[in-house]
Amino acid sequence: MTRKFPAKTPPAGVFNAPRGRALAAAVFVCLFWFSCGKESGGTEIPPEKETAVSGGAENRPAPAMSVQDALRLPEGGPARRMILEKGNFWTTGLPGFGDNALPALSGVYRTTSQGGTEHGFTVWLCRETLYYSGWDTRTGPGDFQILEKRPGDSLLAAAAFNETWTGIFSFPGSPPELSQNDIDRIISIYRSRFLYFLALAQDISDISLPAQADF
């Protein structure tokens, strides 16, 4: 039979020398560090920085900008800006081509003339092969061709953006409210902006109309 003996402990009042020396050394180090910190001024830990309360001025959403505000450019900026007012949806039927059901991505834009008057125009972007009848051809800026037709009290202008996409623009008024120089600049800048975003698109569903462009 194996007997279990209780662990030996020093009698009450007996001091354990090794443990006592270690404890004394630790107390001395703490007291020395504390006194040095007091004499040198010490380094105080700064309180935690307060964070902004949710709903404060920093977190409030910016107010929605109207089309009129968006059309106002800062001083020293470009002459004018075109803003997508509504649209960016697929429709069927292009103006100037008789009865048809040609699909196109369409939108309505707002801009201003040189005098600061607001004007609107409509854009259709089509991928179908188009046959022009009764359209006049002229050279636009950048040496690309612009085809024009005047059905009623508006001007239709068409330009090939690349081998696939064609842009059709409808400018109201007879003569148009915008000058020919404005129209040429709008078509040229719009063509460049659309081709830039088209190059970034991975699929047909990624293609959309430019939200705005400066000209």
Q: Is the pLDDT of residue 58 over 50?
A: no
Q: Is the pLDDT of residue 116 over 50?
A: yes
Residue 124 pLDDT: 98
Among the listed ranges 64-78, 144-158, 200-214, which one has the minimum average pLDDT value? 64-78
Parent domain of 129: 67-214
| 86: in domain | yes
| 118: in domain | yes
Centre a 10 Å sphere on the Cβ of residue 93 and count the other Cβ atoms it contains: 13
Residue 117's pLDDT band (cuts 50, 70, 90): confident
| 135: in domain | yes
Among the listed ranges 17-31, 109-123, 135-149, 156-170, which one has the minimum average pLDDT value? 17-31
Mean pLDDT of 110-126: 90
Mean pLDDT of 173-191: 90
pTM: 0.64
Residue of 155 and 59 predicted with greater confidence:
155
Cβ(177)–Cβ(113) below 8 Å? yes
Among the listed ranges 33-37, 51-55, 77-81, which one has the minimum average pLDDT value? 51-55
- Lookup result for tokens 């004394």: 24
Mean pLDDT of 108-112: 93
Mean pLDDT of 34-57: 41
Residue 125 pLDDT: 97
Percent of the chain with pLDDT over 90: 47
Residue 78 pLDDT: 52
| 145: in domain | yes
Tell how strand 154-160 and strand 166-172 pair up. Answer: antiparallel
- Residue 172's contacts (CB-CB under 8 Å, 6 or more residues apart) are 119, 120, 121, 153, 154
| 78: in domain | yes
| 207: in domain | yes
| 156: in domain | yes
Q: What total of structural domains would you count in the chain?
A: 1
Q: Is the pLDDT of residue 20 over 90?
A: no
| 185: in domain | yes
Residue of 78 and 61 predicted with greater confidence:
78
